[in-house]
Structure formats: C-alpha cells, structure tokens
Amino acid sequence: MSKTDVVVTGLGATTPLGGDVSTTWSALLDGRSGVSTLPEEWHDKLPVHFAGQIAQEPSEKLPRPRLRRLDRTQQFALIAAQEAWDDAGAPEVDPLRLGVVVSSGIGGILTILEQYDTFREKGWKRVSPFTVPMLMPNSPAAAVALEFTARAGAHAPVSACASSAEAIGNAIDMIRAGRADIVIAGGTEAAIHPLNIASFASMRALSTRNDDPQRASRPWDAQRDGFVMGEGAGILVLESAEHAAKRGARVYAHAAGVGYTDDAHDIVMPDPEGAGQARAITQALTDADLKPSDIVHVNAHATSTPAGDVGETRAIRAALGDSAADQVAVTSTKSMTGHLLGGAGAVESIATILALHEGQIPPTINITELDPEVAVDIVRDKPREMPSGDVAAINESFGFGGHNIAVAFRRA
C-alpha cells in the first residue's frame, strides 16, 4: 500500500531574527545574526553574556490577561501557530480530523523558576493557580489544540534539541495513519534564564565569545567554542495532499519522510562516527522513497560545538555516499538564530522548506577558517541558488540523549 502523501500548507515562526516567517527568512538570506546581549545584571554571575533573544516580544501580539496564564513557550507557540494557520488559509476542517504535535525540549522552566521565587518570597497562596498547566511539557500542544479546537489528538514528543523535528515526523505519521487530515506541528522553547545558561555553561557547551557575540555561533569554524542559546518557535501546517488539493491550498513542499534513531552511546556526547545520524538519514530516504542523488541540500543540526559539527558532516557523507555527498549543499542556520533547542527542528525545517520553495539556500555565517575535517560542501556567507527540478532536502536535528531525527522534504 502506498503511503499517504503529506504536504506543507502553512508556516509560522517567531525567532531571534523576526516575529514572523518572512522577516526571519529575509534575515537568513541576508546573513544577519539575531544574537544580542543579555541583561547587564546577569553578567557578573555568568561566563556567557549573550543569547539569541526573541526579536518581537509576545506582549506585542497577545493581550496581558492571556500572557499571565501562558508560559513563554506557549506564547511563542500560539503566535507561530496563528501565523501558520492564517498562512494555510485558515482551513475549514472537522475538529475530529485536526491534530496537534507541538514539542518543547525543556517545557515551562521559566514558570517553574518564577513561581519558585514567588513561593519562597510570598508563600503558597501567591503561587499562580495556572502554574501546573503552564509548566507541563505538553502545555504548548494543549494550548494550540485549545486555540484551534483540534480534537484528533495533541502530542508532545520530547527528545531535547530534536523535539520539534520529531514533532514534524510524528505529524507526518499521524496523517499517514489516517488519524487526521491536518496537523499543526512544530516546537517552541523559552529557557533564557541565568540558571539554564549556568547549566549549559557548566557542561562547557556554550560559546563564551563575549567580545564578539554576533560572531560566536560559527558552525564548522576551526575556532568554534560552543553553541549560542536561543529562544523561539516554529510551526507548520501539515495536511494530506488529498485534503489540500480539495480545498485548493497553496503547497510549499511535500513532507516526504522521516527517520528516527538513537546513538545509545553517551547521554550527551554524539557518537563520533555518526553512525546513528547516518542511519536516520538513510531511514528518512527510504521512508520518503528518495534516492541519495535527490538530496541537494541539508539544513544541518551543527550547533557550533567542537564535538558535534564535524561528525555530522561525516554522517551525511556516509549516508548519501560519495557521489551524492559531493553534490549536496549544507548549511547551519544556527549561525544566525543561535540554537533554539526544542524550537530548532521546526524553525530549521521551515528554512529547509523555504529553500526548496524559493530556490535559495541560506548561508552559514561566521566561518573564518573552515575546520579541515569538514567532509561536505558548506554554503558560506552568501545564499546559494538551489538546483531546479524535482529535488529534495533534509533537516537534521539531534538531541542530548542520543536522539537523531532526519526529516525529508521534496519540492512541490
């Protein structure tokens, strides 16, 4: 039995580069950094003084009484979901055939930390009665389901920084399984807080390039020294091709297939051989019924850490084989957005989809000296034109815990 064809009909995002998809996308093509300086009062406590902070605060879009009962992850998710839904033409759909898969890597950690402060300073009665529905990791999925009356099921797969790529994969699977005609899918993260920066910094995972924050995120550069934490959300509207055709929807791309693997190597370090990452790509190709030579572009996970970036390029080469790997144009948009953790896979899938749709691959910025071990062709500094025709691209997302997700999109 052939698989149900799933297509992308709507996109929404709020990122360090812009409050919507179009401003984010034009900043990506321009090679602009969204990294900015953290509040002054945090500096003396932390070795890192910058992050990819959201470009447009949710208070510009949501009224105050709504904001106070939504965690920041939910606020981002709702803003991005509304944009994606409108972009899809606000489709008429039976609520029983509308699903949600929206992830966060960490969940409502800012709510937990703020309410703990309130508890210690003022006692239990001053703790918000919305604390639990704000902090639970399914809260963004639940808020989106409530907002759009989606009753086919709301899910929140959690796999650290691979979470929102996994959400998109699960959404494809949900439509193929016949459980929904449309699924609102993606991810969100809002974790910029001194404790979280301290936690990643204590792992020595973050860049400490305080003298040049906008050049700190530099995937594949020989002098890369860690990732730059970011915040934001990306949401896609996925739909069965049949349903989309029936209502005459604009189609950005086919959501062609997904591969899921785990390294089972170390709780945080990726397998240096990249075997699990390569298997994820191979599985995505098989699932999507694509050949390695169909893949012209990979939006890589590459976070700018010494440990991860180069191994990923080896995995791409291993999975595609030398002749296809020689042709593939690889980029890391994290060089501009920073690392959106649970929002990364969705925002980067949007960049992958728009690269196919617009024919332009966004560059990787900030590479001064390319690491000589890099095994594929990196798009540097300026966008590159994508080949015409029936081609495909992959978004890769990996997470602490050894999670590897590859999502394949094919040009519509």
Partner 1 sequence: MALSEQEILAGLGEIIEEIVGTEPSEVTPEKSFVDDLDIDSLSMVEIAVAAQDKFGVEIPDDQLKDLKTVQDVVNFIQK
By rule CB under 8 A, what count of residues binds partner 1?
12
Please report how close the Cβ of residue 142 comes to partner 1 at its closest, in angstroms: 14
Residue number with CB closer to partner 1 (65 or 248): 65
Residue number with CB closer to partner 1 (130 or 200): 130
Active site residue 339: yes
**Candidates 52-60, 129-137, 142-150, 402-410 — which segment interacts with partner 1 by CB under 8 A?**
129-137
**Candidates 128-136, 139-147, 216-224, 271-279 — which segment interacts with partner 1 by CB under 8 A?**
128-136
Residue number with CB closer to partner 1 (142 or 378): 142
Please report how close the Cβ of residue 116 comes to partner 1 at its closest, in angstroms: 18
DSSP-assigned letter for residue 339: B
> Which secondary-structure segment (H or E) carries 14?
strand 6-14
Count Cβ atoms below 10 Å from residue 220 Cβ, excluding itself.
Answer: 27
Q: Which amino acid is at 412?
A: A
Exactly one of 128, 210, 293, 327 binds partner 1 (CB under 8 A); which one?
Answer: 128
Reading the block at residue 36, the tokens are 């900015």
Name the nearest CA neighbour of 217 among 375, 27, 32. Answer: 32
If binding is defined by CB under 8 A, does position 123 make contact with partner 1? no
Residue number with CB closer to partner 1 (129 or 372): 129
Please report how close the Cβ of residue 54 comes to partner 1 at its closest, in angstroms: 23
Reading the block at residue 257, the tokens are 């297939």
Helix, strand, coil abundance in the chain, percent, nearest 5: 40, 20, 40
**Candidates 5-13, 124-132, 147-155, 270-278 — which segment interacts with partner 1 by CB under 8 A?**
124-132
Active site residue 297: no
Q: Which amino acid is at 99?
A: G
- Per the residue annotation, which of 155, 161, 254, 297 is the catalytic one? 161
Site mask for partner 1 (CB under 8 A), range 266-295, x = bound: ------------------------------
Please report how close the Cβ of residue 140 comes to partner 1 at its closest, in angstroms: 18
CB-hemisphere CA count at 13 Å for 389? 6
Q: Do 258 and 185 touch, CB atoms closer than 8 A?
A: no
d(CA 216, CA 227): 8
d(CA 145, CA 131): 19
| Subset of residues 49 to 88 that bind partner 1, contact rule: CB under 8 A | 63-66, 68-69
CA angle 282, 169, 26 (to 5 degrees): 95
Residue number with CB closer to partner 1 (68 or 291): 68
Residue number with CB closer to partner 1 (119 or 130): 130
Sheet holding 403-411, edge to edge: 154-155, 98-104, 182-189, 232-240, 6-14, 253-262, 403-411, 392-399, 295-299, 329-331, 377-378
If binding is defined by CB under 8 A, does position 130 make contact with partner 1? yes
DSSP letters, 275-312, are: HHHHHHHHHHHHHHT--GGGEEEEE----S-TTTHHHH
Active site residue 161: yes
Residue number with CB closer to partner 1 (69 or 250): 69
Exactly one of 39, 59, 90, 126 binds partner 1 (CB under 8 A); which one?
Answer: 126
**Candidates 126-134, 183-191, 294-302, 311-319 — which segment interacts with partner 1 by CB under 8 A?**
126-134
Exactly one of 92, 120, 121, 125 binds partner 1 (CB under 8 A); which one?
Answer: 125
d(CA 35, CA 130): 31
Exactly one of 92, 129, 323, 372 binds partner 1 (CB under 8 A); which one?
Answer: 129
Please report how close the Cβ of residue 132 comes to partner 1 at its closest, in angstroms: 9
Please report how close the Cβ of residue 66 comes to partner 1 at its closest, in angstroms: 7
Name the nearest CA neighbour of 164 among 403, 411, 409. Answer: 403
Q: How far is CA 56 from CA 110, 118, 237, 269, 295, in A?
A: 18, 26, 22, 33, 34
Catalytic residue ranges: 161, 301, 339
- Interacting residues with partner 1 (CB under 8 A): 63-66, 68-69, 125-126, 128-130, 133
